[in-house]
Amino acid sequence: MTYGIKRTHLASEITPELDGSQVTLLGWLHEKRDLGGLRFLVIRDRSGLVQAIAAKKEVSRELWDEISSFKRESVLAVKGIAKASPQAPGGAEVRIREVTLISPSEDPPIDVVGKTNADLDTRLDNRIVDLRRTEPQAIFRIQSTVSSAIRSYLRENGFIEIFTPKIIATATEGGASLFSVFYYDRIAYLSQSPQLYKEQLTSAFERVFEIAPAFRAEESDTQRHLSEITMVDAEAAFMDYQDIMSLLDGLVERVVKTVNKENQKELKVLGREEVEVKLPIPRITYDEAVSVLERKGVEHEKDADFGTVQLKALSEELSDFYFITDWPTAARPFYAKPLEGRPERCESFDLMYGWIELASGATRINDGKLLKERMSSQGLNPDSFKTHLKWFNYGMPPHAGFGLGLARLLMVLTGKDNIREVVMFPRDKRRLEP
Contacting positions for ligand AMO (CB under 6 A): 173, 193, 195, 216, 218, 224-226, 229, 231, 233, 357-362, 401-405, 407-408, 419
What's the CA gap between 363 and 138, in Å, rounded? 36
The distance of closest approach from Cβ of residue 355 to ligand AMO in the complex, given in angstroms and rounded to an integer, is: 13
85 half-sphere exposure, CB direction, 13 A CA radius: 16
Closest CA relative to residue 322, chosen from 276, 280, 273 = 280
Measured CA distances, 96 to 27, 29, 54, 192 (Å) = 14, 14, 5, 54
Query: Considering beta carbons, is residue 231 or 245 the nearer one to ligand AMO?
Result: 231
Pairwise CA distance, residues 330 & 383, whole Å: 21
* Cβ closest to ligand AMO, residue 133 vs residue 216: 216
In 36-74, DSSP assigns E strands to 38-45, 48-55
- What are the DSSP calls for 190-207, one per residue? E-S-SHHHHHHHHHHHSE
Identity of the residue, 45 or 249, whose beta carbon is nearer to ligand AMO in the bound complex: 249
Give whichever of 233 and 266 is closer to ligand AMO, judged by the CB atom.
233
**Least Cβ distance, residue 407 to ligand AMO (angstroms):** 6
**Phi and psi (nearest 5°) for 425?**
-130, 80
Distance, in Å, from the CA atom of 298 to the CA atom of 313, rounded to the nearest integer, reads: 7
Please work out, in degrees rounded to the nearest 5, the angle formed at the alpha carbon of residue 247 by the alpha carbons of 231 and 344. 80
Q: By C-beta, is 132 or 151 nearer to ligand AMO?
A: 151
**Least Å from the CB of residue 41 to ligand AMO:** 41
Q: Kindly state the smallest distance separating residue 311's Cβ from ligand AMO, in Å.
A: 12
Q: Smallest gap, in angstroms, from Cβ of residue 303 to ligand AMO?
A: 17
How many CB atoms sit inside 10 A of residue 320's CB?
15
- Catalytic positions, please? 216, 218, 224-225, 357, 360, 408
